[in-house]
Amino acid sequence: MTYIHQTITDLKRTSPSQCEFFQAVEEVLESIEPLLESVPRYKKQAIIQRMVEPERQIMFRVPWMDDNGDIQVNKGYRIEFNSALGPYKGGLRFHPSVNASIIKFLGFEQIFKNALTGLPIGGGKGGANFDPKGRSDAEIMRFCQSFMTELYRHIGPTTDVPAGDIGVGAREIGYMFGQYKRITGRYEGVLTGKSLLWGGSLARKEATGYGAVYFAKYMLEARGDSLKGKTCLVSGAGNVATYAIEKLYHLGAIPVSCSDSRGTIYHEKGIDLDLLKDIKEVRRKSLKEYIETHSDAQYISVADYPEDGHAVWRFKADAAFPCATQNELCVSDAKALLENGCTLVTEGANMPSTQEAVDTFIEAKIAFGPGKAANAGGVATSQLEMAQNASMQNWSFEQVDAKLKDIMKHVFNIANDTAAEFGQPGNLVFGANIAGFKRVAEAMIEQGAV
Ligand code: NDP
């Protein structure tokens, strides 16, 4: 058994039943095998054994009262994975599927993503198995206050700075910030993704979606191509998907789809962005409402698509941007995309493609941007929000967007150059894993056995 496989076997034995976490670890460790062979100090220093073990895992109960006066209880998590490069940084996810495996996979990916940005941020992730769907504003507030009543003691502007993720937007960040301030008496940059009225950064809301599209642009430029005129499939209808669609329009592409947990919209002439924002950001409704305004669009409900695959990837397009959730693009979807002429896949979501789907794209040598590189714009702009808070400044939208573009260029270059250096030109999964790992590993060695 190889050194890597022994590590994975040990991990599966000591942290059983965490399949999403194992999937993320296997992908990273298998790519860094050539590096481990060429740099013996990584084994001597037990770097990978230290990296797969979070520095700290906080799990807590979150009791709260619903509108009927009944007490509900959820599970809360904050996984502080690695602080070699800076304070733990990574979002909070509120979704019924949240469990320790999902938060650990996200936290593990976050370490390398944050390293790739070149910024001083460590990796962490958190959340709760709370389902915000159908909850009143008062219930959301009580839940957020209860969640922060425990979380506040573990976070701080120089120790751990959470942000939003699925189910956590400006409203939830506002309620959590208010509770933190009330308990501690401190007004400080302890959360990012804050409202523009009180400490948020311009362009943070747009950053993940915009950043993924910038990353796609740089991938295509390296191949002598551009996004102009390209038909693009986008999944998701939340923060990342909405602003990926917006930036695709800015760059002359035609985004023709979006999806939510209940169904997919395909609109050949291009998604109506204002309507999408109105349905999802303002009214928080199902995408099904889209066809009430556009009878020429198609709506395919998840219930009507029982095959092994996802409706959104079955349309003809030049490019695909999975921006919803993990494992939403499987190997049959990947094959369908390739058969339909797709030559670019950029992951706005975290780990949206299964390992087999990723292998299919790599083998086909299409331009493939893995999430940990392509969606790094969100966390990078969160760090810009921290920098503005710490220096008590506000930068303009254009200043933040220009920095975001530079960071995405840096992330692309470092992943692309590293892939070429290690003999796999164009394989950005490999390049991103090695480049991110090297930066964290070297910092860990310099800081000793901690
Ligand atoms: P949101 O909660 O804003 O949106 C998520 C969207 O995905 C919603 O439209 C949701 O549908 C849809 N969705 C959820 N589950 C499924 C499913 N099983 N099938 C189809 N659609 C589904 O989250 P974000 O946009 O913030 O996050 C999306 C992804 O991007 C996640 O993987 C997240 O970790 C990642 N990410 C986010 C960053 C950020 O800055 N926000 C930064 C980096 C990565 P519905 O509306 O029905 O709930």
- Rounded Cα gap, residues 84 and 82, in angstroms: 6
Q: How far apart are the first and last CA of the chain?
A: 28
> What does each C-alpha distance from 115 to 83, 389, 394, 415 come to in angstroms?
11, 21, 25, 11
- Whole-prediction pTM value? 0.95
Percentage of the chain exceeding pLDDT 70: 100
**What's the mean pLDDT in 46-66?**
98
**What's the mean pLDDT in 344-364?**
97
Residue 306 has a pLDDT of 74
Residues with Cβ within 6 A of ligand 1? 164-167, 208, 236-241, 259-262, 323-325, 328, 348-350, 375, 378
Is residue 204 within 8 A of residue 381, CB to CB? The reply is: yes
- Taking Cα atoms as reference points, which of 76, 190, 224 lies closest to residue 143? 76
Pull the structure tokens for residue 185. Answer: 């008496």
Q: Where are the alpha helices (DSSP H) in 97-136?
A: 100-116
Question: Which single residue is written with the structure tokens 């493939």?
Answer: 368
pLDDT, tens digit, 9 for 90 and up, residues 258-290? 999 999 999 999 999 999 999 999 999 999 999
What structural domains and CATH numbers belong to the chain? Answer: 17-24+50-188 (3.40.50.10860), 205-369 (3.40.50.720)
**What's the mean pLDDT in 52-63?**
98
Residue 432 has a pLDDT of 98
- Please give the torsion angle defined by the CA atoms of residues 103, 105, 108 and 109, in that order, rounded to the nearest 10 degrees: -110
In this prediction, residue 308 has a pLDDT band, given cuts at 50, 70 and 90, of confident
In this prediction, residue 329 has a pLDDT band, given cuts at 50, 70 and 90, of very high
Is residue 380 within 8 A of residue 207, CB to CB? The reply is: yes
Residue 419 has a pLDDT of 97
Residue 122 has a pLDDT of 98
Pull the structure tokens for residue 254. Answer: 């035609």
Other Cβ atoms less than 10 A from the Cβ of 71: the count is 8
In this prediction, residue 304 has a pLDDT band, given cuts at 50, 70 and 90, of confident
**What's the mean pLDDT in 221-243?**
98
Residue 307 has a pLDDT of 76
Instruction: Choose the catalytic residue: 89, 125, 194, 403.
Output: 125
**Residue among 79, 93, 109, 165 to mutate when testing ligand 1 (max atoms within 8 A of CB):** 165
pLDDT, tens digit, 9 for 90 and up, residues 408-432? 999 999 999 999 999 999 999 999 9
What atom of ligand 1 comes closest to residue 326's alpha carbon?
Answer: 32
pLDDT, tens digit, 9 for 90 and up, residues 89-121? 999 999 999 999 999 999 999 999 999 999 999
What atom of ligand 1 comes closest to residue 348's alpha carbon?
Answer: 30
